[in-house]
Amino acid sequence: MGKIDKTVDPEFEAQCEVLKDIHRRYGLVVAAAKNFSHVLTQMAEAEKKLSESFYQLSMKEEQIKAQCTMTSETMRGVGEQAASLDACLRYFISSMETVYNQTITDTLHTIYNTESARIEYDVDRNDISAATNPPQGQLTKNLPVGATEKCEEKKAKYEKLKNDAKIKMRLLEENRISVVAAQLEKLQSALAAYYSGNAKLLEASVRELSFLQSPQPSFIPTM
């Protein structure tokens, strides 16, 4: 296989490599977001327990009951905000997983099929070339019946898959950007609300993310 003359389309191959790298980077975002969500879940639970512990203490310590109660209420509010941010993050993760595991993967599947079809075509093409144009001093070989037609069929398959992949990559880029941008805007609002202590805005962000339409597994019909 390493000795055959490879069919090359530099522009198409460069586009494919870019998409593969983008896919890898979305995977990093999903993994990091899941880790952040795990931390938030633990933090919200710890804050809830600390709030409860101050409440229990206030039941026995009359002299500092007011301070304990106030601290308990503060920690309860902080814990609720952490839980709300985690809810926002989970909606975001769900959307990013769809983009990573389904939407981009659908296009990559077509790209991998194109690469396989190209290899099959190159093998037949080089076999025909070797048989009809042997090295100096060697006789030409008779081709199997239908070899040329079979090679042309594989070429047509390769060209069709490559065209399908190009269309999918173009539509994927157009739709992926708009979908992810909308998700990021909502997440940014949630983060700003959380770190500014704006509980009402954070609750609104949770609702907006829950109502935001999830991206479809594929932006284009099956080809």
Residue 71: predicted pLDDT: 94
Positive or negative, the CA dihedral 186, 188, 191, 194 is: negative
- How many angstroms separate the CA atoms of 34 and 156, rounded? 43
Scored b (16 or more CB within 10 A) or e, 174-202 reads ebbeebbebbeebbebbeebbeeeeeeeb
Alpha helices, H only, the chain? 10-58, 65-98, 104-132, 147-196, 199-211
- What is the CATH code for 10-133+145-193? 1.20.1270.60
At residue 1, the pLDDT reads 45
User: Does the predicted TM-score (pTM) go above 0.85?
Assistant: no
The number of beta carbons lying within 10 Å of the beta carbon of residue 25 is: 11
Q: Which H or E run includes 103? A: none
Query: Residue 92 in contact with residue 187, Cβ under 8 Å?
Result: yes
**CA-to-CA dists, residue 170 to 15, 95, 164, 215, angstroms:** 10, 20, 10, 17
Report the Cα 44 to chain-centroid distance in Å.
27
- Domain locations in the chain as residue ranges: 10-133+145-193
From first to last of its 223 residues, what are the pLDDT tens digits of the chain? 446 688 999 999 999 999 999 999 999 999 999 999 999 999 999 999 999 999 999 999 999 999 999 999 999 999 988 988 998 899 899 999 999 999 999 999 999 999 999 999 999 888 888 777 766 666 666 777 788 899 999 999 999 999 999 999 999 998 889 889 988 988 888 888 888 877 777 778 777 766 665 555 555 545 5
**Is 4 within 8 Å of 157 (Cβ atoms)?**
no
